[in-house]
Amino acid sequence: MTDPAFFNKVESLTLSEIAEIVKAPLPEGADGSVAIENVAPIDAASNGEITFLDNPKYVSELEKTSAGAVLCSKRYAEKVPTGSIALVVGNPYEAFSLVSSAFYPEAMVPLAYFERKGGISQGAHIHPDAKVESGVCIEPGASIGAGAEVGAGSTIGVNAVIGQGVRVGRNCHVGANAVLQHSLVGDDVIIHPGVCVGQDGFGFAMGPQGHRKVPQIGRVIIQDRVEIGANSTIDRGANRDTIIGEGTKIDNQVQIGHNVEVGRHCVLVSQVGVSGSSKLDDFVAIGGQSGVAGHIRIGMGAQIAAVSVVKDDVPVGARYGGVPAKPVKTWFREMAALKRLAEKGS
């Protein structure tokens, strides 16, 4: 069976065009008219393809690559083999993303699931009181509730649910089987399959006679250019709004509790859990499988290592890790001390 191509690709780009895209000078004597036909991994790239080196771990692969061109930093340019062209850039991975998006522009947002031409499927369920702007794609089985609004250029995937009164902005993508309730979504937002937004927060008044449910009357506000990975969940607020700030990127299987405020351009990696009423300032990054306790604040630009538990406030720009999380220098000293004790005991 021939391998299918899921994304259309431009036929080729010249070396000069690529250099212009990444703002890199062409090496002296390089032929800018040379055609580059695709992007490829460093160990598999052929003469007509471009690759990149960002991680020093792969320097040995760089020295053996057959790529026609390599995006790399200045320190590795001399290691690019004869026959390959080194394009020196400040951030090779970012440059590679620019080149990849030039070759595969339609891969920048998820494709429609059912058919490429889009449109509103006869199998979609749209309430008469819903408002759907022009150029919207609504796929089979999707439901748009009473009073809901969907902005121009957006796609609502197969079996997705846009609940009553929910507003989805323009040029958004809501993946298959996603469910949005009690939510306001900005423009250029990507919500991957299986995401649930706006369900009840986990609020109960606990007592000896049982646990009384506390009404969750807030909303979820998702600002522009947010991306939410598959099967993540974002609870609506209990008595205020849960907020996801502009440009934030959320990986798969992340849980965000009620009343949480996530700032702009944060990164939450897979299986992170953020408990209710905590606040993440702008540009916070949290590694995979870490947990954040409730009612704490993580300062702007702080970084939390993977598999950590944050139970106290974290200062601006700090780097924390461990269980419980602490400044990484302290954490590393503690681990080294425990290792010495263990070795001494044996």
pLDDT given at position 204: 94
Q: Under the phi-then-psi rule, with left for phi > 0, alpha for psi from -120 to 50, and beta for the rest, what region is 5?
A: beta
Please tell me the distance from the alpha carbon of residue 328 to that of residue 338, in angstroms, as a whole number.
Answer: 15
Sheet holding 255-256, edge to edge: 125-126, 143-144, 161-162, 179-180, 196-197, 233-234, 255-256, 273-274, 291-292, 309-310
**69 occurs within a structural domain:** yes
Listed residue (334, 284, 280) closest to 304, CA to CA: 284
pLDDT given at position 65: 95
**34 occurs within a structural domain:** yes
- Which amino acid, one-letter code, is at 142? A
Q: State the average pLDDT for the chain.
A: 95
The tokens of 139 are what?
Answer: 């796929």
At 199 the three-state DSSP class reads coil
pLDDT given at position 118: 83
Q: What is the CATH number of the domain that holds 80?
A: 3.40.1390.10
**35 occurs within a structural domain:** yes
pLDDT given at position 344: 83
Please tell me the distance from the alpha carbon of residue 123 to that of residue 139, in angstroms, as a whole number.
Answer: 7
User: How do residues 16-42 score in pLDDT, each as one tens digit?
Assistant: 999 999 999 999 889 999 999 999 999
**90 occurs within a structural domain:** yes
**Residue 1 pLDDT greater than 60, yes or no:** no
**1 occurs within a structural domain:** no
Using H for helix, E for strand and C for coil, what is the string for 59-74?
Answer: HHHHCCCCCCEEEECH
The tokens of 230 are what?
Answer: 């598959």
pLDDT category, 5, cuts 50, 70, 90? confident
The tokens of 8 are what?
Answer: 């259309």
Please tell me the distance from the alpha carbon of residue 262 to that of residue 255, in angstroms, as a whole number.
Answer: 12
User: How do residues 52-68 score in pLDDT, each as one tens digit?
Assistant: 999 999 999 999 999 99
Contact 69, 92 (CB under 8 A): no
**45 occurs within a structural domain:** yes
- Which amino acid, one-letter code, is at 233? T
Angstrom CA distances, 85 to 31, 48, 277, 296, stand at 10, 11, 52, 50
Contact 327, 314 (CB under 8 A): no
Q: Domain range for residue 104?
A: 13-108
User: How do residues 283-325 score in pLDDT, each as one tens digit?
Assistant: 999 999 999 999 999 999 999 999 999 999 999 999 999 999 9
**CB burial readout 62-89, b (16+ within 10 A) else e:** beebbbbbbbbbeebeeebeeebbbbbb
Q: What share of the chain is helix, strand, coil (3-state, %, to 5)?
A: 15, 25, 60
**3 occurs within a structural domain:** no
- Active site positions, annotated: 258
- Which residues does residue 138 pair with via DSSP β-bridges, in sequence order? 120, 156
Decide: pTM greater than 0.85. yes
User: How do residues 314-326 score in pLDDT, each as one tens digit?
Assistant: 999 999 999 999 9
**60 occurs within a structural domain:** yes
Determine phi and psi for 213, rounding to 5 degrees.
-65, 135
Count up the domains in the chain and report the number.
1
- Which residues does residue 174 pair with via DSSP β-bridges, in sequence order? 156, 191
Please tell me the distance from the alpha carbon of residue 318 to that of residue 78, in angstroms, as a whole number.
Answer: 36
> 104-108, 236-240, 253-257: which has the minimum mean pLDDT?
104-108
